Structure 1
Amino acid sequence: MWCFPHPQKTGHTLVLLDTEGLGDVEKGDNQNDCWIFALAILLSSTFVYNSMGPINQLAIDQLHYVTELTDRIRSRSSPDQDEVEDSDEFVRFFPDFVWVLRDFSLELKLNGEPISADEYLENSLKLKQGTGQRDKVKELNLPQLCIHKFFPKKKCFVFERPVHGRKVGQMESLQDQDLDSDFVEQVAEFCSYLFSSSKVKMLSGCIKVNGPRLKSLVVTYVNTICSGSLPCIENAVLALSQTENAAAVQKAIAHYDQQMNQKLQLPTETLQELLNVHRASEKEAIKIFMENSFKDVNQVFLTQFVTELETKQEEFLKKNEQASSDRCLALLQDIFNPFEEDVKQGIYYKPGGYHLYVQKTRELKKKYYDEPRKGVQAEEVLQKFLQSKDDVTDTVLQTDQELTEKEKDSEVEAQVEYVKAEAAKTIAKMQQEMQQQIEQLLKQKEKSHEEHMKQLTEMMEKG
């Protein structure tokens, strides 16, 4: 196999697959040659068959491999309702046929009139109208019938001998100027035709065969042959689609993951900030999946993609919450640490201490609220932190009450009620924010569902 950039079509690669000489007695038995011939047909978009000398009955008989293709290739895994034969569908995916006649020395004439190489080929492939046994005539015509049926587009080139005499043994070291000028011109014409007329290898559904797909097809066909079964076009395309669709899922998810990690700064200030990045990354990921998937039977891989996408989103939501919790807890510890040291030193265990304690707590809470990018867990972490200090608060209150004169009890009680009311407000605010976050998530999931259904519809229409 040789691969090199296409000389005329930018972005395309020209791949030459060589069968290494069919019919060579040193290269294996006839069955191997038949399978190699079938593989060449399955993998190529232009099939070049070359033989020596003119097209005669011997040359046609040597092309018996074409008559065995119906025994070597299946187009479908099972017949359809119309029972269309495999051979009737071969023309849909068989390559163009080019017959090259090497060391050709005859004049191209028919009934004394000059003809082209293509006309010579068509005339040579005419069916014989023999008067002998019907079965015998049918057998003689079988290669011609198969070529006509399987290869509607045919082309012929004739090459004269490139050199003469002893130079034949030096072919690999000769330059163009050492070769017969007619031969050089014929080769140039042949190459020009292949470069300009050879098509991109296509699979059913207008799927172009690139390098990885060619590799997958080769492996699938060869494994099938080695297992004793017949290569099936439909099964090969299905196997290819499963491989590529699985890769498409991973490629799209990897892109989503990369975009989210790249664009998000955790913790986000709000949930909406994360959802906005999610929507943009999700849209790009869906586009990548659609561009790299095909023949997703029953949308199995689309469903897998959507599931993995939702899982990834949940991971980022949890990461964001964790990052927010870690940030807020560290911030609270930093802000409240000096205050807690003062409490341990007993500064607030005195008459009026509770009022000072509450006032200081309020100041520190404001300082906490003023810090940016605390994230979606800001209020919840604060409340849990303050709740963890309830025992200390109660102790300060109890000490204050015991040390404060009786007439001031009502003032302390008023302060307690004020703190309770403030706490109730904070909890209500926290609950409201949580409800808003839940509503945002539900709206986002609804939008994602609509987007997925839209993509699913497009995929079903695309087939």
Structure 2
Amino acid sequence: MTRTQHCNERLGDFTTSFLWLLRDFYLKLEDEGVKVTPKDYLETALLPVSGSGASVQAKYGIRASIKALFPDRDCFTVVRPMNDEAQLVNLDNVDPAILRPEFREGVAQLIELIFSKAEPKRFGTQFMTGPVLAGLVEAYVEALNNGAVPTIATAWQGVAEQESRRAADTAESVYVLSFNTDTMAEEEALVQEHERCVELALIEFKNIAVGDPVIQAAHEA
């Protein structure tokens, strides 16, 4: 295994699902007379090509990268939307009702497939919130604008630090706003009120904080 292949396989843990859409598809999905699924067709298309030379190596590299970067992949086919060439070039302005029934049915199935595969963004086993995803995108864009290659782990750690700090600030505000200043000035009553507010603050902290437990612990204290 080359270094590039190893890196691509590691990146595969962080990439999204891959869906190859083939429009105007008329071929019969068969392999030696046996019906195959669109996914089978995709996997066959990703098999290594025989031969040598620069063009063959380029094709092999693309196939290998797709297989390594997108372990969750699928394929979907739809027929040509309509047969009228004049209207086909202006498809955006065509009334959907005059599209071929087979195409409309295929699009409905495609939408169903996409929604069945849609899931929240994750980093490893942790789901991302909107601010976390925005922070990662900002880190990637900043790295690219500076001519650097974005590093997923470094960007994630930076966002985790940022979100944990925000979680700590928010938790502190929750504690202050939740504390009942009318609590009797007796030690037991004050301790109970303190513990109640700490519990509320910790809940808020855990709702926001992400990343390694070590990072969270540093701000939770």
Amino acid at match of 1:239: G
Task: For residues 174-224 of structure 1, give each alpha carbon's deviation from its aligned partner in whole angstroms, at most 9, with x where no partner exists.
Answer: 3432111111111111111111122322102x2212322221121111111
Larger radius of gyration: 1
1:95–1:151 Cα contact (<8 Å) kept: yes
Contact residue 94 and residue 150 of structure 1 kept, 8 A: yes
Q: Residue by residue, what CA displacement relative to the aligned partner does 1:137-192 show, whole Å, maximum 9, x if unpaired?
A: 44432211222222222211112221232222443343432111111111111111
Tell me the TM-score normalised to structure 1 length: 0.43
Identity %, equivalent residues = 24
Equivalence for 2:121: 201
Q: What does residue 198 of structure 2 align with?
A: 282
2:110 maps to amino acid: F
CA distance in 2, matches of 1:271, 1:225: 56
1:257 equivalent in structure 2: 176
Structure 1 CA distance for aligned equivalents of residues 64 and 96 of structure 2? 39
Give the CA RMSD over aligned residues: 2.4
- Residue 147 (str. 1) matches residue 66 (str. 2): yes
Residues 160, 183 of structure 1: 8 Å contact kept: yes
- Find the counterpart in structure 2 of residue 311 from structure 1: none
AA paired with 2:116?
A: S
Partner of 2:43: 122
- Residue pair 2:82, 2:100 contacting (<8 A) in 1 also: yes
Q: Which amino acid aligns with 1:285?
A: A
Which residue in 1 is equivalent to 2:160?
241
For 2:208 and 2:156, the matched residues in 1 are separated by: 14
Higher helix share: 1
In structure 2, the CA distance between the partners of 1:304 and 1:118, relative to structure 1 (3 Å rule), is closer
- Which has the bigger relative contact order, CA under 8 A and spacing at least 6? 2
Instruction: Name the SS of the counterpart of 1:93 in structure 2.
Output: coil
Give yes or no for the alignment of 1:212 onto 2:131. yes
With 228-237 and 162-171 compared, the bigger mean Cα shift is at 162-171
CA distance in 2, matches of 1:138, 1:295: 39
Q: Is the 8 A contact 2:8 2:65 kept in 1?
A: no
Aligned mates of 1:304, 1:118 — CA distance in 2: 46
Consecutive unaligned residues in structure 2, runs of 5 or more: none
Name the CA shift for 1:144/1:169 in 2 (closer, same or farther; >3 Å): closer
- 1:281 and 1:153 map into 2 onto residues whose CA distance is 44
Q: How far apart, in 1, do the equivalents of 2:141 and 2:155 lie? A: 11
Following superposition of structure 1 onto structure 2, how do residues 365-404 of structure 1 map, counting pairs within 5 Å?
Answer: none
1:347-371, Cα deviation, whole Å (9 max, x unpaired): xxxxxxxxxxxxxxxxxxxxxxxxx
Query: Letter of the aligned partner of 1:265 in structure 2?
Result: D
- Note the C-alpha offset of 1:121: 1.5
Residue 92 of structure 1 aligns to a residue whose secondary structure is: coil
Render the CA deviation track for 1:64-116: whole Å, top value 9, x for unaligned. xxxxxx5xxxxxxxxxxxxx953331121122211111222333333344332
Q: In structure 2, what is the equivalent of residue 157 of structure 1?
A: 76
TM-superposed deviation, 1:297: 6.4
Q: How many residues are paired up?
A: 217
Of the three residues 5, 17, 20, the one matched with 1:99 is 20
Partner Cα distance (1:142, 1:172) in 2: 35
Report the Cα distance in structure 2 between the residues aligned to 1:113 and 1:286, rounded to whole angstroms. 59
The 1:148–1:303 alpha-carbon spacing in structure 2 relative to 1, beyond 3 Å, is closer
